[in-house]
Amino acid sequence: MAKRWTNDLAPGDVTPESHYLNRRQIMAGIAGLGLAGLAAPARAAGALEPSPWDVITQYNNFYEFGTGKDDPAKYAHALTTDPWSIRIDGMVHNPGDYALGEILSKMTMEERIYRFRCVEAWSMVVPWNGFELKDLLDLAGVKPEAKYVAMETLYRPEEMRGQRTPFIEWPYVEGLRLDEAMHPLTLMATGIYGKPLPNQNGAPLRLVVPWKYGFKSIKSIVRITLTDKEPPTSWNRAIPNEYKFYSNVNPTVDHPRWSQATERPIGGGLFAKRQPTLMFNGYEKEVASLYQGMDLRVHF
């Protein structure tokens, strides 16, 4: 499979790290559009400094390990991530149980530095490693009648202590419309900062949809089902009037209990300045066309 982009930094071109990261981000931005040669999108123009490793790996939402932000880092080591396989079924030509290693051997790995915005109004910038979900769906062979992609997290209460309590209905489930799933920005992540994904961040494989609230980015995926019906999603099932299917980041549509106009960058300290939240989390140019003609106040 042809690599969409390569890191063309020369061996001597190593300093400073912030420039290095920004350079890769710009290239990822171009690759994200699949339009190498065109101008980098606006989000790549400014410096997008990744949040520190410790912040990304110690302030987590992963309710399978507890509801506190520090619970996943404390308890997720109990999760066995090898062997791991993913069932791909429903409206595909090649259904089956795919070993993770077999999938990875066929995918083109990339680094993407993305904004990450939780619905709770905090944010980070994360340097993900992974591959485009589209490539995996192409491997499975999506049938023409498929319209949505449903995903499911592992259910293993012996290792996921939070699952011993019915905090939400387990397993955690999420879904995307097929065109969202096929979008070049939609990533299946296997790492951060060039290292394997820590368990608390959703090892060994998690979804990343940078223009949607963080809860859409389902962790530790074991099943992907192609369907013609909008699939159920965990947070919609739990609190249907607060969380709907699309969950696109939108500063003009407030959560019923708080404003979504601004966000708190994690890692900046208790008194860090809140920053404005961007439409589609800053990826408007890339994804707004997916929602043309839709009322985003109704389909939030």
Ligand X SMILES: Nc1nc2c(c(=O)[nH]1)N[C@H]1C(S)=C(S)[C@@H](COP(=O)(O)O)O[C@H]1N2
Binding positions for Mo-molybdopterin are: 60, 63-64, 118, 153, 201, 206, 217-219
Residue matched to tokens 């530790």: 220
Name the binder of 277 from Mo ion, ligand X, none, CB < 5-8 A by kind: none
Distance separating alpha carbons of residues 279 and 207, to the nearest angstrom: 20
List the one residue from 62, 128, 215, 246 that touches Mo ion (CB under 5 A). Answer: 215
Helices (H), the chain: 17-33, 42-45, 53-58, 71-75, 100-106, 133-140, 178-181, 234-238, 284-287
Q: Indicate the residue among 69 and 87 with the shorter CB distance to Mo ion.
A: 69
**Residue 151's closest CA among 87, 105, 82?**
87
Distance separating alpha carbons of residues 249 and 213, to the nearest angstrom: 6
Query: Token pair for residue 201?
Result: 């961040």
Name the binder of 219 from Mo ion, ligand X, none, CB < 5-8 A by kind: ligand X
Handedness of CA 153, 155, 161, 163 (dihedral sign): positive
Q: Indicate the residue among 215 and 243 with the shorter CB distance to Mo ion.
A: 215
Residue nearest to ligand X (CB): 214
**Amino acid letter for position 57:** T
Residue matched to tokens 């997290």: 153
Name the binder of 217 from Mo ion, ligand X, none, CB < 5-8 A by kind: ligand X
- Taken as a whole, the chain contains a residue count of 300
**Amino acid letter for position 116:** F
Q: Indicate the residue among 26 and 121 with the shorter CB distance to Mo ion.
A: 121
Q: Does residue number 214 form part of the binding site for Mo ion (CB under 5 A)?
A: yes
Upper half-sphere CA count for residue 28 (Cβ side, 13 Å): 27
Q: Binding pattern to Mo ion, positions 55-94, x when CB under 5 A?
A: ------x---------------------------------
User: CB of 170: closest distance to Mo ion in angstroms?
Assistant: 17
Distance separating alpha carbons of residues 33 and 26, to the nearest angstrom: 11
Q: Indicate the residue among 29 and 214 with the shorter CB distance to Mo ion.
A: 214
Distance separating alpha carbons of residues 126 and 118, to the nearest angstrom: 13
Q: Indicate the residue among 71 and 110 with the shorter CB distance to ligand X.
A: 71
User: CB of 128: closest distance to Mo ion in angstroms?
Assistant: 16
Q: Residues interacting with ligand X, by CB under 6 A? A: 60-64, 118, 153, 172, 201-202, 214-215, 217-220
Residue matched to tokens 């400094």: 49
Distance separating alpha carbons of residues 238 and 172, to the nearest angstrom: 11
**Residue 218's closest CA among 149, 115, 127?**
149
Name the binder of 218 from ligand X, Mo ion, none, CB < 5-8 A by kind: ligand X
Q: Which of residues 106-125 bind Mo ion (CB under 5 A)?
A: 118
DSSP assignment string, 42-56? HHHHS--PPPPHHHH
- Chain-centre distance of CA 127, in angstroms? 11
Name the binder of 62 from ligand X, Mo ion, none, CB < 5-8 A by kind: ligand X
H or E element at residue 177: strand 173-177
Q: Indicate the residue among 91 and 208 with the shorter CB distance to ligand X.
A: 208
Q: Indicate the residue among 130 and 214 with the shorter CB distance to Mo ion.
A: 214
Which residues does the annotation place in the binding site? 60, 63-64, 118, 153, 201, 206, 217-219
User: CB of 233: closest distance to ligand X in angstroms?
Assistant: 11
User: CB of 177: closest distance to ligand X in angstroms?
Assistant: 18
Interaction site with Mo ion (CB under 5 A): 61, 118, 214-215
